[in-house]
């Protein structure tokens, strides 16, 4: 069970990813951000390091690690480039993890080695134009016809769905109706594996986003997409419930990414405060700057404690839904607040895109929205309190 003091194995992993982030990722981050280009060369090296396979067993091409190991890697990447970090986070916790958690042996053997190596990416096809936080409003539908699922619908904001190495999207779709205890009916939502090469599957034009410019995000259109009946992932009618459990786990991972972003803003601000002079002193000599950076460090520290705790509970087999929601909320707000304060510390330079704090300022807002808004986290926490 991981504690705040990392074991030697965890620390070595964190240190190696930190070195990779500083020496490989950071030097090309501005270029990819400005060009809105996907960092294929970085992703390839991440795959070679085994980062995409961290939480998966060796029998499926993984590293035999766990979710906490993945989170440590995400924190270090998130310090310098959130686009790269979200590519890993979405590729593993949202793309490959559903196959690992709910797939048949045949599905795991077909897909996990590709995904764990980083040679292929998968997307998490849940959100729709009218079904975001209210994912029960899913309108994409699928029917069985001659041993095939015929899928029609639209998905929105799907990460890793349109790159040259995107190979799979797991899609939620209405496959019928289920009886409720009160005698009424509700949508039967199932999950179906859709290879991106399937006729009728189309990744539309990439979004022009405020931030995360080097990550890949598209709306998807599925028009009479036909896949074999055995592409059903997990039990029929359990697709929505299964995806919610994937999101619970994913909130730990996204919290780690957000913690890294918050810490990155601290590190950059400390360095700048020691170098920048005003009125005859380095600005770090002034309490106004000292106190601002001290609060930033407190936020990053608190966010780290929150995601460590949620991860520890998850790995120990204990309930962790509430703790993951707390971590997601605290870390997302820490990243956004620290990005704002770091921009203030940098003054005019903080408003120039070539400075990393400016990119964090643009990137961090989505951490209060994606994978469950702050309001959804508050709802989950309140519900656990019996409200």
Fold classified for 241-384:
Butyryl-CoA Dehydrogenase, subunit A; domain 3 (1.20.140)
- Inform me whether the pLDDT recorded for 2 exceeds 80: no
CA atoms within 13 A on the CB side of 142: 33
Instruction: Please indicate, yes or no, whether the overall pTM of this predicted structure exceeds 0.85.
Output: yes
Q: Which of 109-113, 180-184, 252-256, 342-346 is the least confident region? A: 180-184
Closest CA to 242 of 231, 250, 254, 252: 250
pLDDT at residue 194 above 60? yes
pLDDT for the residue numbered 71 = 98
Tokens of 122: 């998968």
Give 33-61 pLDDT, tens digit per residue.
999 999 999 999 999 999 999 999 999 99
- CB neighbour list of residue 369: distance below 8 Å, 6 or more residues apart: none
Select the CATH number that applies to the domain covering 8-121 from these four: 3.20.20.10, 1.10.3720.10, 1.10.540.10, 1.10.1520.10: 1.10.540.10
123-236 CATH choice from 2.40.110.10, 3.40.50.970, 3.40.1010.10, 1.10.10.10: 2.40.110.10
At 224-262, the pLDDT tens digits run 999 999 999 999 999 988 988 999 999 999 999 999 999
Angle subtended by helix axes 374-384 and 321-346, to nearest 10: 140
* pLDDT given for residue 272 in this prediction: 97
pLDDT, the chain, mean:
95
CA dihedral (138, 141, 144, 148) positive or negative: negative
Nearest to 374 by CA among 255, 264, 293: 255
Mean pLDDT of all residues in 129-146 = 86
Does pLDDT of 19 surpass 50?
A: yes
Instruction: Report the residue count for the chain.
Output: 387
Question: Does the pLDDT at position 70 exceed 50?
Answer: yes
CA–CA gap between residue 170 and residue 232 (Å, rounded): 9
SS3 of the chain: CCCCCCCHHHHHHHHHHHHHHHHHHHHHHHHHHHHCCCCHHHHHHHHHHCHHHCCCCHHHCCCCCCHHHHHHHHHHHHHHCHHHHHHHHHHHHHHHHHHHHHCCHHHHHHHHHHHHHCCCEEEEECCECCECCCHHHCCCEEEEECCEEEEEEEEEEEECCCCCCEEEEEEEEEEEEEECCCCCEEEEEEEEEEECCCCCEEECCCCCCCCCCCCCEEEEEEEEEEEEHHHEECCCCCHHHHHHHHHHHHHHHHHHHHHHHHHHHHHHHHHHHHHCEECCEEHHHCHHHHHHHHHHHHHHHHHHHHHHHHHHHHHCCCCCHHHHHHHHHHHHHHHHHHHHHHHHHHHHHHHCCCCHHHHHHHHHHHHHCCCCCHHHHHHHHHHHCCC
Residue 184 has pLDDT above 80, yes or no: no
pLDDT attached to residue 135: 67
Could you tell me what percent of the chain has a pLDDT over 70?
A: 99
Per-residue confidence at 1, pLDDT binned at 50, 70, 90?
very low
**Which range has the worst mean pLDDT, 51-55, 328-332, 334-338, 367-371?**
367-371
Mean pLDDT (whole number) for 296-319: 97
Question: pLDDT at position 186, please?
Answer: 82
Please state, in angstroms and rounded to a whole number, the distance separating the CA atoms of residues 140 and 127: 10
Mean of pLDDT values over 267-284: 95
199, 226 contact by CB (below 8 A): yes
**Tally of CA atoms within 13 A in the half-sphere of 380 that contains its CB:** 21
Q: Which residues are catalytic?
A: 371
Q: Would you kindly state where each structural domain of the chain is located, as residue ranges?
A: 8-121, 123-236, 241-384
């Amino acid at each position: 069970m991981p504690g705040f003091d990392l074991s030697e194995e965890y620390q070595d992993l964190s240190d190696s990813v930190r070195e990779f982030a500083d020496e490989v990722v950071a030097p090309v981050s501005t270029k990819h951000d400005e060009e809105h280009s996907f960092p294929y060369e970085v992703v390839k090296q991440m795959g070679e390091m085994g980062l995409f396979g961290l939480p998966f067993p060796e029998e499926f091409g993984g590293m035999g690690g766990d979710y906490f190991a993945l989170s440590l890697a995400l924190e270090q990447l998130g310090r310098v480039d959130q686009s790269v970090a979200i590519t890993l986070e979405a590729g593993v916790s949202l793309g490959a993890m559903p196959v690992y958690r709910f797939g048949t042996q045949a599905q795991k053997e077909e897909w996990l080695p590709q995904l764990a190596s980083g040679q292929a990416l998968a997307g998490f096809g849940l959100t729709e134009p009218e079904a975001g936080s209210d994912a029960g409003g899913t309108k994409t539908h699928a029917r069985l016809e001659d041993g095939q699922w015929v899928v029609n619908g639209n998905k929105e904001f799907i990460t890793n769905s349109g790159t040259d190495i995107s190979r799979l999207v797991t899609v939620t779709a209405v496959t019928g109706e289920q009886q409720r205890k009160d005698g009424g009916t509700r949508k039967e939502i199932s999950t179906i594996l859709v290879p991106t090469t399937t006729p009728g599957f189309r990744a539309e034009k990439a979004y022009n986003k405020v931030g995360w410019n080097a990550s890949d995000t598209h709306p998807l259109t599925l028009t009479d997409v036909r896949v074999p009946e055995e592409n059903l992932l997990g039990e029929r009618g359990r697709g929505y419930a299964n995806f919610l459990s994937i999101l619970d786990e994913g909130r730990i991972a996204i919290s780690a990414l957000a913690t890294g972003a918050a810490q990155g803003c601290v590190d950059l601000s400390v360095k700048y405060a020691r170098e920048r002079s005003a009125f005859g002193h380095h600005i770090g000599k002034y309490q106004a700057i000292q106190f601002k950076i001290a609060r930033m460090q407190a936020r990053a520290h608190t966010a780290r404690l929150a995601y460590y705790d949620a991860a520890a509970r998850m790995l120990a087999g204990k309930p962790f839904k509430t703790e993951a929601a707390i971590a997601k909320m605290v870390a997302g707000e820490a990243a956004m607040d620290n990005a704002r304060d770091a921009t203030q510390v940098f003054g005019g330079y903080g408003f120039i895109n070539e400075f990393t704090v400016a990119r964090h300022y643009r990137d961090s807002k989505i951490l209060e929205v994606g994978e469950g808004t702050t309001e959804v986290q508050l709802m989950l926490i309140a519900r656990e309190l019996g409200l």
